Chains A and B, each alone.
Chain A
Amino acid sequence: MTAYIIRRLLLLPILLFGVTAMIFGMLQFLSPVERSALYVRDIPKNENVVEGIIRRYGFDQPMYVQYWRWLVGFQVADDEFRPGILQGNFGWSRVGTQPVIDLIKVRFPATLELALWSVFPIIGIGLWLGVQAAVHHNGWFDQAARVFSIVGTSFPTFVFGLLVLMIFYANLQWFPPGRVSDWVNQEIFSGSFRQITSLITVDALLNGRFDIFVDAIKHLVLPILTLSYINWATFLRVTRSSMLETLRQEYVTTARAKGLRESDVVNKHARPNALIPITTLAGFQVVGLLGGVVITETVFTYPGIGSAAAAAASQLDVVTTLGFALFNGFVLILANLMVDVIYGFIDPRVRIS
């Protein structure tokens, strides 16, 4: 296993180079003046010094020099070091009027929190639904699951989102939109509430503030429901077909021929094998969730990274958009690594070769 993980880790620099090179390449479509937003706050106000900026920050230098400086930062002058991507300089966000990295720091925890809470129902329940559908192949459960899946795939997210918002917020007033209530916001910024992880549900528990925890959960319910619903459809379908395929394998007959209980045949012999292709899909879905879910965040005015990226893109704030893209690339690489490790755990053929 260790050897396998090390082999995966060795791939990491290559992947990182790929992602950074791609984003850097896209930056080259911008004019040097626009690109100076990486280093200079307010370009319009400094219009008269543009020439100086270009020379000062080396936008006239060869590409590889620029890439290297962009990546690891560089010494502009004796007393001036400009940090690069690796030091966390993702440029200046015009839309956010703050460094892109700060915008990410504010928005990403919200997205992460939503993603973490959504993963469990999506994977847990999706897996259960898919396995049951396969085990009761063509039975009523399978048929019901199929309808559920088709509806889930064809129902636009915003329609479903608005629907649950209408029912559970407008009518029943159970679950409000947003991330937290105003009083919680005030508490958080009052200073007595220690922000440790920036995940409000986790911090609330760490601070022993159960009331804040409940408030945050209440705000999470509807987005989780929406995300689960749209992801279940795919998850169920893939799990079902993978499980059906597995149940046809000869080793399942072997397991039955040994006299095992059907529940052991399904859960101990078939399911672990069926999980192998499902892991890839689960990885993709998690990456999708971490990249920000624009529609869901927008419908529920949930301040995650998806809605921020959408805002930046719609206002043609290229530096912010590409900064988010780069960050997303890093997340993707990390998630991929995790999927690979999980692969190794569930498939000995991958782990021991």
Chain B
Amino acid sequence: MPDLLLDVQGLETQFKTPEGVIYAVNGVSFGLKEGETLGVVGESGCGKSVSMLSVLRLIPSPPGKITAGKAYYRGQDLLQMSNEEIRHVRGAQIAMIFQDPMTSLNPVLTVEYQLTEPLLLHLGMNKEQARARAIELLEMVGIPNAKERLADYPHQFSGGMRQRVMIAMALACNPQILIADEPTTALDVTIQAQIIELVKRLRDELGMTIIWITHDLGIVAGLAQRVIVMYGGFIIEEAFVKELYANPKHPYTIGLLGSLPRIDEQERQRLFSIDGLPPVLYNKPTACPFSPRCKWAMDRCWKENPVLETVGPDHRVACWADVKTGRAR
């Protein structure tokens, strides 16, 4: 594909634990076009965070290890870069915000310190310039009394305000890509909506490219253009938002959406939620990892892991079954 800003191919990440090797990410490939917002959805434990952290080589190592794959950013493989080189990408080109604003800001450092740090580091500003910019950033994300609040510590802010500080910090150096790892999951609903509005506004103002991780397909609908659905460390479906909602192909996606078109009402009830939990994979799957929870599972599903196949314009799915007919595709 031409002009991809980020091009991830065959990414695999594993964790060596006392209980065995966890296959967290098992060959994930996706592209990101400049200016688009990509939603990444899936239940907790599906490998969303590990995939994105791996791209920036931020997984804790040990126990984590990226065992295969490439991640081209502007033609350069992030996974092959030296430690020094990737440092200049982190924060400056690709920034990240995390789930819990209570724990993702350092409790013993002032907001000013944490906010000016990337400015001093990547943009070579001096203290006064960085301070002025920090005030600007806080104002930009809608924190009142920005100037006075610089001297405060994270615990003096509410959860929503802290996430705003996190966003300000991530955007400090005008990064090309913002990776948002469930940034609203820990917040209550009204605050959640405010943060999403803020990100939308900033995206339009700054022309940012965003990867938005969430387990909530509802959030993605209003935010992203394209969605990838993850399960068991695999991408199991990928499509434009409208297509995915109108025409979900993977039983897991259907389960996440909580409804299935063109099926009678009784069936619909049963599909409202998916029983069971996503697996922790201690072996590299040789069958479809979703088959234990899948009502369409056929013989083949237990024997062979489906690969992503194109099933429509820009729509790819990894499933042996055709959910409309219930038979093999």
Contact = CB atoms under 8 A, between A and B. Distances in A.
Interface of A: 137-138, 248-251, 253-262, 268-269, 272-273, 346-349, 352
A260 B107 contact: no
Contacts of A248: 60
A32 to B, nearest CB: 55
11 contacts: A250-B99, A250-B103, A253-B53, A253-B58, A254-B106, A254-B169, A255-B106, A258-B91, A259-B89, A261-B87, A273-B107
B92 interface: yes
Contacts of A251: 103-107
Contacts of B106: 251, 254-255, 269, 273
B91 A257 contact: yes
A259 B58 contact: no
Contacts of B90: 256-259
Contacts of A273: 106-108
Contacts of A249: 103
Contacts of A347: 107-108
A254 B98 CA distance: 8
Size band of the interface chain B makes with A: 20 to 34
B88 A348 contact: no
A259 B122 contact: yes
Given A137-B62, A250-B98, A258 B104 contact: no
Given A248-B60, A251-B103, A258 B153 contact: no
B109 interface: yes
A140 to B, nearest CB: 14
B121 interface: yes
Contacts of B87: 259-261
Contacts, number: 78
Contacts of A269: 106, 109
B117 A260 contact: yes
A15 B61 CA distance: 47
A138 B58 contact: no
A272 B108 contact: yes
Contacts of A137: 62
Given A255-B106, A257-B58, A269-B106, 12 more contacts: A250-B98, A250-B100, A253-B98, A254-B166, A258-B95, A259-B90, A259-B121, A262-B83, A272-B109, A348-B107, A352-B153, A352-B155
Given A259-B122, A260-B117, A349 B153 contact: yes
A134 to B, nearest CB: 13
A262 B82 CA distance: 13
B129 interface: no
Give the top 7 A-B pairs by smallest Cβ distance, nearest first. A259-B91, A259-B90, A258-B91, A348-B153, A251-B106, A250-B103, A257-B96
B58 A256 contact: yes
B89 to A, nearest CB: 7
A268 B117 CA distance: 11
B156 interface: yes
Contact of B155 (A138, A260, A272, A348): A348
B56 interface: yes
B118 interface: yes
Given A250-B98, A254-B98, A269-B109, A260 B104 contact: no
B184 to A, nearest CB: 16
Nearest to B153: A348
B168 to A, nearest CB: 12
Contacts of B58: 253, 256-257
A137 B96 CA distance: 26
Contacts of A346: 108
Given A137-B62, A253-B58, A257-B96, A348 B108 contact: yes
A89 B91 CA distance: 65
Nearest to B113: A268
A321 B83 CA distance: 61
Contacts of B166: 254
Nearest to B87: A259
A338 B100 CA distance: 34
A248 B63 CA distance: 12
Contacts of A349: 107, 153, 155
A143 to B, nearest CB: 14
A272 B109 CA distance: 9
Contacts of B100: 250
B109 to A, nearest CB: 7
B109 A257 contact: no
A163 B188 CA distance: 64
Contacts of A260: 87, 91, 117, 121
Nearest to A139: B62
B211 to A, nearest CB: 13
A270 to B, nearest CB: 9
